[in-house]
Amino acid sequence: MQSCRTVDNYKEWSPLVSPRRRCCTEGEAIKQLRRKALSRFRQIRYRKKQREHEVGLLENVNVLKSEVETLKAARHELRFRIWRNQATTKSSLPHHSSPLKVAQEYLKCFRHGFASDPPKLSTGSTEDAFEFPDSEQTRFIQDMGAKDVVHGQLRGRTSLLEQWRRYTTYFKSLMVEPHSFHIDRRAEQVTCLVRSTVRVTITSKTLDNIAPHVFLQPAIAAKLIGTPIALKMNLTLTYNSHGKISRCDTSIDFIDGLRPLLSGYKDVAWVLNAAYITPHSQIGKDMVELLPLAPLVSAPMRILTSESSHQATEMPAERRSPVAVEDIDAGFPSKDPRLELAYILTRSV
- Asked whether residue 122 falls in the same domain as residue 47, the answer is no
- Asked whether residue 39 falls in the same domain as residue 139, the answer is no
The pairs formed by 124-130 with CB atoms below 8 angstroms and a separation of 24 or more are 127/156, 127/157, 128/156, 128/157, 128/158, 128/159, 129/156, 129/158, 130/158, 130/162
**Residue 327, pLDDT score:** 32
- Asked whether residue 196 falls in the same domain as residue 282, the answer is yes
Global pTM value: 0.58
Domain boundary among 52, 87, 122: 87
Sign of dihedral through CA atoms 85, 86, 87, 90?
A: positive
**Residue 16, pLDDT score:** 53
Is residue 179 situated within a structural domain?
yes
201: CATH: 3.10.450.50
Amino acid, single-letter form, for residue 74: A
- Asked whether residue 79 falls in the same domain as residue 140, the answer is no
**Residue 97, pLDDT score:** 66
Cβ contact 157:135 at 8 Å: no
Is residue 335 situated within a structural domain?
no
- Tell me the three state secondary structure of residue 98: coil
By the 10 Å C-beta count (0-12 exposed, 13-18 middle, 19+ buried), 313 is classed as middle
Domain boundary among 87, 121, 149: 87
Separation CA 144–CA 164 (nearest Å):
16
**Residue 259, pLDDT score:** 92
**Residue 73, pLDDT score:** 76
Cβ contact 151:247 at 8 Å: yes
Is residue 211 situated within a structural domain?
yes
Contacts of residue 231, Cβ cutoff 8 Å, sequence gap at least 6: 197, 198, 199, 200, 252, 253, 254, 256, 257
**Residue 304, pLDDT score:** 35
- Asked whether residue 115 falls in the same domain as residue 193, the answer is yes
Domain boundary among 236, 271, 289: 289
Question: What is the total count of domains within the chain?
Answer: 2
Is residue 28 situated within a structural domain?
no
- Asked whether residue 189 falls in the same domain as residue 138, the answer is yes
**Residue 81, pLDDT score:** 65
- Asked whether residue 75 falls in the same domain as residue 102, the answer is no
Helix then strand then coil, in percent of the chain rounded to 5, is 45, 20, 35
Is residue 93 situated within a structural domain?
no
- Asked whether residue 71 falls in the same domain as residue 197, the answer is no
pLDDT < 70 positions in the chain: 1-25, 76, 79-97, 116-131, 290-349
Is residue 133 situated within a structural domain?
yes
Is residue 328 situated within a structural domain?
no
What domain range is 48 assigned to? 35-87
Cα 172 to the center of its chain, rounded Å = 11
- Asked whether residue 246 falls in the same domain as residue 158, the answer is yes
- Asked whether residue 230 falls in the same domain as residue 191, the answer is yes
Strand ranges for 17-164 from DSSP E:
120-121, 130-131, 145-151, 154-155
**Residue 135, pLDDT score:** 78
Is residue 192 situated within a structural domain?
yes
- Asked whether residue 114 falls in the same domain as residue 239, the answer is yes
- Asked whether residue 120 falls in the same domain as residue 76, the answer is no
